[in-house]
Amino acid sequence: MAEKDCIFCKIANGEIPSATIYENSDFRVILDVAPANRGHALIIPREHFKDIFDIDALTAGKLFSLATEVARAMKSVLHCDGMNIVQNNGIVAGQTVFHFHLHLIPRYENDNVNIGWQPGDSTPGELQELAKEIRKKI
Ligand code: AMP
Ligand code: ZN
Protein backbone atom coordinates (compact mmCIF):
# COMPACT_ATOMS: atom_id res chain seq x y z
CA MET A 1 0.00 0.00 0.00
CA ALA A 2 1.22 3.48 -0.84
CA GLU A 3 1.80 5.71 2.16
CA LYS A 4 0.34 9.21 1.97
CA ASP A 5 3.01 11.92 1.56
CA CYS A 6 5.81 9.40 0.96
CA ILE A 7 8.02 10.70 -1.84
CA PHE A 8 9.43 7.26 -2.68
CA CYS A 9 5.93 5.74 -2.93
CA LYS A 10 5.21 8.43 -5.50
CA ILE A 11 8.51 7.96 -7.34
CA ALA A 12 8.34 4.15 -7.27
CA ASN A 13 4.83 4.19 -8.66
CA GLY A 14 5.60 6.81 -11.33
CA GLU A 15 3.56 9.70 -9.92
CA ILE A 16 6.73 11.79 -9.62
CA PRO A 17 9.18 11.59 -12.54
CA SER A 18 12.65 10.18 -11.94
CA ALA A 19 15.69 9.14 -13.96
CA THR A 20 14.66 5.50 -14.11
CA ILE A 21 17.27 2.85 -14.89
CA TYR A 22 14.95 -0.12 -14.59
CA GLU A 23 11.49 -1.05 -13.35
CA ASN A 24 9.43 -4.17 -12.88
CA SER A 25 6.29 -5.01 -10.92
CA ASP A 26 8.14 -4.96 -7.58
CA PHE A 27 10.83 -2.26 -7.90
CA ARG A 28 11.97 0.93 -9.55
CA VAL A 29 15.68 1.71 -9.86
CA ILE A 30 16.53 5.41 -10.19
CA LEU A 31 19.48 7.74 -10.17
CA ASP A 32 19.85 9.67 -6.89
CA VAL A 33 19.07 13.38 -7.35
CA ALA A 34 21.98 14.34 -5.05
CA PRO A 35 24.56 11.73 -6.01
CA ALA A 36 27.52 10.94 -3.76
CA ASN A 37 29.31 10.05 -6.99
CA ARG A 38 28.58 9.74 -10.70
CA GLY A 39 25.96 7.03 -11.22
CA HIS A 40 24.70 6.80 -7.61
CA ALA A 41 21.53 4.69 -7.89
CA LEU A 42 18.68 3.68 -5.59
CA ILE A 43 16.60 0.51 -5.69
CA ILE A 44 13.14 1.29 -4.35
CA PRO A 45 10.39 -1.27 -3.72
CA ARG A 46 6.99 -0.16 -5.08
CA GLU A 47 5.41 -1.21 -1.81
CA HIS A 48 5.98 0.99 1.22
CA PHE A 49 8.30 -0.55 3.80
CA LYS A 50 9.86 1.82 6.30
CA ASP A 51 13.17 0.08 6.77
CA ILE A 52 15.00 -3.22 7.24
CA PHE A 53 12.90 -3.94 10.32
CA ASP A 54 9.72 -3.62 8.28
CA ILE A 55 10.49 -5.20 4.88
CA ASP A 56 9.69 -8.90 4.36
CA ALA A 57 12.48 -11.34 3.60
CA LEU A 58 11.12 -12.37 0.20
CA THR A 59 11.00 -8.79 -1.12
CA ALA A 60 14.41 -8.05 0.40
CA GLY A 61 15.80 -11.16 -1.29
CA LYS A 62 14.39 -10.17 -4.68
CA LEU A 63 15.73 -6.65 -4.17
CA PHE A 64 19.27 -7.82 -3.51
CA SER A 65 19.11 -10.24 -6.40
CA LEU A 66 18.17 -7.31 -8.65
CA ALA A 67 21.03 -5.32 -7.10
CA THR A 68 23.55 -7.80 -8.52
CA GLU A 69 22.22 -7.23 -12.04
CA VAL A 70 22.01 -3.46 -11.68
CA ALA A 71 25.53 -3.30 -10.22
CA ARG A 72 26.96 -5.20 -13.19
CA ALA A 73 25.11 -2.96 -15.68
CA MET A 74 26.34 0.15 -13.87
CA LYS A 75 29.92 -1.10 -13.82
CA SER A 76 29.89 -1.76 -17.55
CA VAL A 77 28.61 1.75 -18.32
CA LEU A 78 30.37 3.80 -15.65
CA HIS A 79 33.67 1.88 -15.60
CA CYS A 80 33.77 2.39 -11.83
CA ASP A 81 36.59 0.75 -9.89
CA GLY A 82 34.36 -0.41 -7.03
CA MET A 83 30.95 0.07 -5.45
CA ASN A 84 29.51 0.61 -1.98
CA ILE A 85 26.11 -0.86 -1.15
CA VAL A 86 24.58 1.27 1.59
CA GLN A 87 21.23 0.97 3.29
CA ASN A 88 20.31 3.34 6.13
CA ASN A 89 17.72 2.53 8.81
CA GLY A 90 16.59 5.18 11.28
CA ILE A 91 17.54 8.79 11.82
CA VAL A 92 20.61 7.84 13.87
CA ALA A 93 21.83 5.76 10.92
CA GLY A 94 21.39 8.62 8.47
CA GLN A 95 18.05 7.61 6.94
CA THR A 96 16.27 10.67 5.55
CA VAL A 97 13.59 9.04 3.38
CA PHE A 98 11.57 6.59 5.44
CA HIS A 99 10.72 4.21 2.62
CA PHE A 100 13.22 1.34 2.33
CA HIS A 101 15.84 1.83 -0.39
CA LEU A 102 19.25 0.43 -1.27
CA HIS A 103 22.02 2.77 -2.37
CA LEU A 104 24.46 1.63 -5.07
CA ILE A 105 27.35 4.06 -4.96
CA PRO A 106 29.99 3.62 -7.66
CA ARG A 107 33.53 4.30 -6.51
CA TYR A 108 36.39 5.66 -8.58
CA GLU A 109 40.03 5.83 -7.67
CA ASN A 110 40.83 8.92 -5.54
CA ASP A 111 37.18 10.03 -5.50
CA ASN A 112 37.28 11.21 -1.86
CA VAL A 113 33.75 9.93 -1.16
CA ASN A 114 33.46 9.37 2.56
CA ILE A 115 31.68 6.19 3.66
CA GLY A 116 33.01 4.50 6.75
CA TRP A 117 33.76 4.27 10.44
CA GLN A 118 36.70 4.08 12.77
CA PRO A 119 37.50 0.47 13.78
CA GLY A 120 36.59 -0.05 17.46
CA ASP A 121 37.67 -2.46 20.21
CA SER A 122 36.26 -5.81 21.33
CA THR A 123 37.17 -8.82 23.42
CA PRO A 124 36.56 -12.44 22.32
CA GLY A 125 34.38 -13.06 25.41
CA GLU A 126 32.18 -10.06 24.76
CA LEU A 127 31.72 -11.03 21.09
CA GLN A 128 30.83 -14.64 21.96
CA GLU A 129 28.29 -13.51 24.58
CA LEU A 130 26.64 -11.03 22.23
CA ALA A 131 26.60 -13.52 19.34
CA LYS A 132 24.85 -16.03 21.62
CA GLU A 133 22.17 -13.50 22.61
CA ILE A 134 21.37 -12.52 19.03
CA ARG A 135 21.54 -16.11 17.72
CA LYS A 136 18.71 -17.05 20.09
CA LYS A 137 16.39 -14.61 18.31
CA ILE A 138 16.96 -15.84 14.76
P1 AMP B 1 18.78 8.01 2.92
O2 AMP B 1 19.54 9.13 3.57
O3 AMP B 1 19.45 6.68 2.99
O4 AMP B 1 17.34 7.98 3.40
O5 AMP B 1 18.77 8.36 1.38
C6 AMP B 1 17.83 9.15 0.75
C7 AMP B 1 18.37 9.44 -0.62
O8 AMP B 1 17.30 9.82 -1.45
C9 AMP B 1 19.38 10.59 -0.65
O10 AMP B 1 20.60 10.11 -1.22
C11 AMP B 1 18.70 11.64 -1.52
O12 AMP B 1 19.60 12.34 -2.33
C13 AMP B 1 17.75 10.79 -2.33
N14 AMP B 1 16.56 11.50 -2.82
C15 AMP B 1 15.72 12.25 -2.11
N16 AMP B 1 14.74 12.72 -2.91
C17 AMP B 1 14.97 12.24 -4.15
C18 AMP B 1 14.32 12.37 -5.41
N19 AMP B 1 13.22 13.10 -5.55
N20 AMP B 1 14.83 11.74 -6.48
C21 AMP B 1 15.97 11.00 -6.35
N22 AMP B 1 16.62 10.82 -5.18
C23 AMP B 1 16.15 11.44 -4.10
ZN1 ZN C 1 6.61 4.97 0.68
SS (H, E, C) the chain: CCCCCCHHHHHHCCCCCCCEEEECCCEEEEECCCCCCCCCEEEEECCCCCCCCCCCHHHHHHHHHHHHHHHHHHHHHHCCCEEEEECCCCHHHCCCCCCCCEEEEEECCCCCCCCCCCCCCCCHHHHHHHHHHHHCCC
Residue nearest to atom 12 of ligand 1 (CA): 34
pLDDT exceeds cutoff 80 at 106: yes
pLDDT of 99 reads: 98
111 Cβ below 6 A of ligand 1: no
Band (4; pLDDT cuts 50, 70, 90): confident
* Mean of pLDDT over the chain: 97
Ligand whose nearest atom lies closest to the CA of 2:
2
Ligand 1, atom 18: closest residue by C-alpha = 33
